[in-house]
Amino acid sequence: MFNQFRSQKNRPMHLGRFPLENATRQQDTDLQNVPPFVPLSFVDRDRPQSLVNAMREHQAMMDAIRDGTVNGLVSETPDDLEERSNHLKSFGYFCGASMASTGKLPSEAILTRPYLNEGIAELAQVLRTRQSKSLAPGHDLLMAELRESMEAPPGSIDTHTHAIVYLFEHPRTPDPDEPGADWIMGAEDHRSALLASEAAVVVATYLRQLGHSARAHTASSADIDLNKLAVATGLAAVVDGQVSAPFIGSRFGMAAVTTSYPVGTDLPLVAAKLPKSKAMLYAKRRFKDGAHPFEKIKRVDAPTTYIDEGNVARLPKRSDMLIRAAFGDLGKPLQQKWKGGYATMKSPTSPAQRRPLSAFALLQNGPVAECQIPYTPQEAHDHVKAATYFLSVDGVGVSRCPDWAYYSHNAAGEEVIPSHDQAISMVIDQGFDTMEGASGDDWISVAQSMRGYLRFALLGGVIAHQIRNVGYPAKAHTMVEGEVIQPPLLLLSGLGEVSRIGEVILNPYLGPRLKSGVVTTELPMSHDKPIDFGLQKFCDSCKKCARECPSGAITAGPKLMHNGYEIWKSDSQKCATYRVSNLGGGMCGRCMKTCPWNLEGVLADAAWRWTAMKVPGTAPALAKLDDMLDRGQINPVKKWWWDLEVQEDGAFRPTKHPVNERALQKDLDLKYEDQTLAVVTPALAPPPHPFPSPLNREDGIEAYQAMVTAEVYKERMARGDT
Ligand code: SF4
C-alpha cells in the first residue's frame, strides 16, 4: 500500500509485513488480567452522516454468514500443523491483515454469554424486499442458503479446539479540519473491525468447505473474547491495562476464526518487551489524497485514447464473453466446462470469497434518507474520496457517468435506464506478494480476482450506502451485478490509461494488478481529470503481455477503433476459452503478472516509474531491462496456497493436472502478422435475452481485419464516411 524502503521479495508470505518473529515470547500467560473485549455497535444515532451507520448492513451481513454448512467430506490437506498455520496466516495477509496468529482455543476465552449483532434482524427484513438480478453461477443457491442461515440460531462451538486471529491496524485519527473529516471522525474502530470481519468470514467459509467446522467471530458477533484470544495466541499483550500489539500499539480492529481443524501454536508475547509502535497508515497524507501520490501524475482534459462518445453503442450485459460461454454461445464443450461456474469454483479459496460477495449483491442499492445534507460539489468530492481511502480502497476517481457507459440490458435481459449521472470509480490491488508467487494462471488466480471483487463489493457498497444516508441516490456496481461498463469510467476519472492488455486499464501505481468497481450516484461532485503517464508510448514499445499470454489473445499490433473506443483490442473469445478450460489452474491473469508495471512499491520501483513516465523514449530499454532482470518469473518464496481441486465427490484434493508453472518466453518474437484475432462488434453482439446465440468466429475475424486506427477513423468521420 505504501512505498517501503526494502523489498520483501525474500520474505515468506506467512511472516507478514511486521517482523513478529523477532518479538520476545513466553511459554504461558495469565488471561485473568486481560480486559474484556467490548463489542462494537455499528450505529451512531447522534451523527447520521457518520460512516459507521453506512457500515451497519454490511457488517450485519458478515455476521449473518459467519457460520454455515460444513462440507460432508474432509478434504486432503497437509498434516503438518505449522504448515497449516502458515497457510491460514498467509490467507489472512492476502485478505489485507496487518498481523495474524494461530493457536489453541483456551477455555477462558469462550464467552458464557455470546454477543450477537442486533442489525441481523433488521437485515433479514431488508432481504425480504430486495432481489438480485445476477446471473452469476450458483447465485440463487447462495441466496437461499443465506436467508436460511439468517433465521437459524448459531449453534455451539464445542468441537472447536483451535483459533486463527486477524488484526487490522487503524489509520491515523482524522483531523477534524481536514477535508472530508466529517464522515470518518470516530470511525476507526468500526473500519478496522469491518475489514477484519471480511478476512475471518472468508477463512471460516474456506475451512468449512474443506470439511471442518469453523465460525468467524467479529467485533459485533462472537462466542469468544477477542482480547483474550489475541493475548493467548501471541498477537497482543496487556500494556498499562490496554491490549496492545507489537509495532502497532492499541489502535487496531480484530476478528477470529475458531475451528475443529488443528493448527500450530504461536507462543504468548512478553508485554515488557513488546516492540515499539511504528508509523501509522496515512501519518503524512490527507485521507482525501489517498495513499499513493496521485497528485504527481499529469492531468489532461481528455483520456489519452480517443473515445467517439456519440458513436459508442450500448451493449447488453449478455455480450460479456463469460456469460456467452455459460449460454453455450462458444460451443457445448466449453459450456459443459463452465457449468455452475466450475472454473471459478474448482479451488477452495475462491468460493469462500464468492459467498460474501454474492451476499453483498443484495446490499448494492437501497432506500435514500429523506433528509438531504447539502454539500458543494467540492465538499462532496472530498468527503467521498476521504471516506473511500479511509476504508482502504487503493485508488478512487470521480467523473461524470455518461449514458453510453451503461449496458443496454441487464443480465436478466431487462432494459437498463441510465439513472445516475455521477460515477465514483475505485480500484483494488490484487496484492503484489501473491502475484509474485504465482504464474498468473495457476490455482490462486481466481482468488486474486475475487479478492478485488469482494473488497469492492464491501467498501463500494458501504460508500453507496453512505451517500444514500446523506440523502442522495447511489448504487454500487459489482462483479456480481453491475449496470455500467467500467473501463471508460476509470479513464474519465483519472485512474489509468488504456493498456495493450485490452479492456484492462493500467494504473501508474498498481499497474494492471487491479480490479475495479463503480458507485453511481446523483450526488453532484467536482470531477477528477483523466491522466497521462506516458503509457501509450510504453505499450507501443513493450509487447510483453502479448508475448506471455497463454491463449494468444492480446494483440501485438496497433490500437484500433472498436465501438467508438481506441483500444488495443484483444480477442475476448480466445481469452474466455482459455480461462474456462485451463486445467493447470483456475482462470488466468498472466498479463498482470508479467507486465513491467506490476511493481512491488519499493523506493527503487519509484525511480523506474519516474523514468518510464518522464522519459518516454526509454520505454523500449525499460521493457528490455524488465526481461533482463527476470521480472515476471515465479518467486517460490511467496507461494502460500495449496493446489487443491474439487473432485467429483465434492472433496478438495491435490490436483492431478500439471500445475501451470510458466517461465517467461523471452525468445518468442511475436508478430502481429502471425496472429489471427477476432472481435465482436455491436453488429455481431448477441440479443439481450438469456437464450443461446452462437458466436461466429469467421465473422469476428473479418470484423477485426476491418477495424482501423483512430487517425483513419477520424478522417472517415470528417468525410462523413463511417
Ligand atoms: Fe503495456 Fe507491456 Fe504491460 Fe502489456 S506488458 S500492458 S505492453 S507495459
**pLDDT score recorded for residue 3:** 45
**pLDDT score recorded for residue 1:** 43
- What is the Å distance from ligand 1's center to 531 Cα? 17
Q: Is the pLDDT of residue 282 over 70?
A: yes
CA dist 223 and 66 (Å) reads 11
- What is the Å distance from ligand 1's center to 674 Cα? 19
pLDDT digits (tens, 9 = 90+) for 16-44: 999 999 999 999 999 999 999 999 999 99
Residue nearest atom 5 of ligand 1, based on CA coordinates:
595
What percent of the chain is modeled with pLDDT above 90? 86
- What is the Å distance from ligand 1's center to 262 Cα? 44
pLDDT digits (tens, 9 = 90+) for 43-87: 999 999 999 999 999 999 999 999 998 999 999 999 999 999 999
Q: Residue 646's beta-bridge partner residues? A: 652
pLDDT digits (tens, 9 = 90+) for 512-557: 999 999 999 999 999 999 999 999 999 999 999 999 999 999 999 9
Rounded to the nearest angstrom, the gap between the alpha carbon of residue 115 and the centroid of all alpha carbons in its chain is 30
**pLDDT score recorded for residue 279:** 79
Ligand 1 pocket check for 459: Cβ under 6 Å? no
pTM of the shown model: 0.96
Element counts in the chain: helices (H) and strands (E): 23, 18
- What is the Å distance from ligand 1's center to 614 Cα? 17
Ligand 1 pocket check for 409: Cβ under 6 Å? no
Rounded to the nearest angstrom, the gap between the alpha carbon of residue 98 and the centroid of all alpha carbons in its chain is 17
Ligand 1 pocket check for 499: Cβ under 6 Å? yes
Q: Is the pLDDT of residue 680 over 90?
A: yes
What percent of the chain is modeled with pLDDT above 70? 96
**pLDDT score recorded for residue 138:** 58
CA count, 13 A, side-chain hemisphere, 702: 6
Ligand 1 atom with the smallest distance to the CA of 538 is 8
Question: 560 near 713, Cβ under 8 Å?
Answer: no
**pLDDT score recorded for residue 496:** 98
Residue 83, phi then psi, degrees to nearest 5 = -60, -40
- What is the Å distance from ligand 1's center to 506 Cα? 9
**pLDDT score recorded for residue 722:** 65
Q: Is the pLDDT of residue 561 over 90?
A: yes
Ligand 1 pocket check for 599: Cβ under 6 Å? no
Question: 193 near 289, Cβ under 8 Å?
Answer: no
pLDDT band at 132 (very low <50, low <70, confident <90, very high): low
pLDDT digits (tens, 9 = 90+) for 394-448: 999 999 999 999 999 998 899 999 999 999 999 999 999 999 999 999 999 999 9
- What is the Å distance from ligand 1's center to 692 Cα? 35
Which of 475, 486, 498 lies closest to 397 in space, CA to CA?
486
Q: Which of 320-324, 344-348, 633-637 has the highest mean pLDDT?
A: 633-637
Count Cβ atoms below 10 Å from residue 679 Cβ, excluding itself: 22
CA 24, 26, 28 angle in degrees (round to 5)? Answer: 150
Ligand 1 pocket check for 664: Cβ under 6 Å? no
* Segment 372-378 mean pLDDT: 97
Q: Is the pLDDT of residue 133 over 50?
A: yes
Which of 461, 431, 254 lies closest to 357 in space, CA to CA?
461
Residue nearest atom 4 of ligand 1, based on CA coordinates:
545
Residue nearest atom 8 of ligand 1, based on CA coordinates:
539
SS3 at position 202? helix
Ligand 1 pocket check for 554: Cβ under 6 Å? no
Rounded to the nearest angstrom, the gap between the alpha carbon of residue 441 and the centroid of all alpha carbons in its chain is 17
Count Cβ atoms below 10 Å from residue 600 Cβ, excluding itself: 17
Ligand 1 atom with the smallest distance to the CA of 591 is 5
CA dist 571 and 229 (Å) reads 51
Question: 396 near 518, Cβ under 8 Å?
Answer: no
Ligand 1 pocket check for 597: Cβ under 6 Å? yes
Count Cβ atoms below 10 Å from residue 101 Cβ, excluding itself: 30
pLDDT digits (tens, 9 = 90+) for 324-365: 999 999 999 999 888 777 888 899 999 999 999 988 988 999
pLDDT band at 140 (very low <50, low <70, confident <90, very high): low
SS3 at position 518? strand
- What is the Å distance from ligand 1's center to 97 Cα? 30
C-alpha grid cell for residue 546? 502479448
Residue nearest atom 2 of ligand 1, based on CA coordinates:
542
Q: Is the pLDDT of residue 174 over 60?
A: yes
Residue nearest atom 3 of ligand 1, based on CA coordinates:
595
Q: Residue 171's beta-bridge partner residues? A: 281
Residue nearest atom 1 of ligand 1, based on CA coordinates:
539
**pLDDT score recorded for residue 137:** 53
Helix (H) or strand (E) holding 546: helix 544-548
Q: Is the pLDDT of residue 141 over 70?
A: no
**pLDDT score recorded for residue 691:** 85
Q: Is the pLDDT of residue 460 over 70?
A: yes
Mean pLDDT of the residues in the chain: 94
Rounded to the nearest angstrom, the gap between the alpha carbon of residue 122 and the centroid of all alpha carbons in its chain is 27
Ligand 1 pocket check for 544: Cβ under 6 Å? yes
Name the residue of 506, 533, 545, 631 whose CB sits within 8 Å of the most ligand 1 atoms, as the mutation to test its pocket.
545
pLDDT band at 214 (very low <50, low <70, confident <90, very high): very high
Give CA separation, 438 vs 17, 242, 642, 643, in Å. Answer: 19, 40, 12, 11
Written as one string, the DSSP assignment of 402-434 is: -GGGB-SB-TTSPBP----SEEEEEEEE--HHH
Ligand 1 pocket check for 498: Cβ under 6 Å? no
pLDDT band at 605 (very low <50, low <70, confident <90, very high): confident
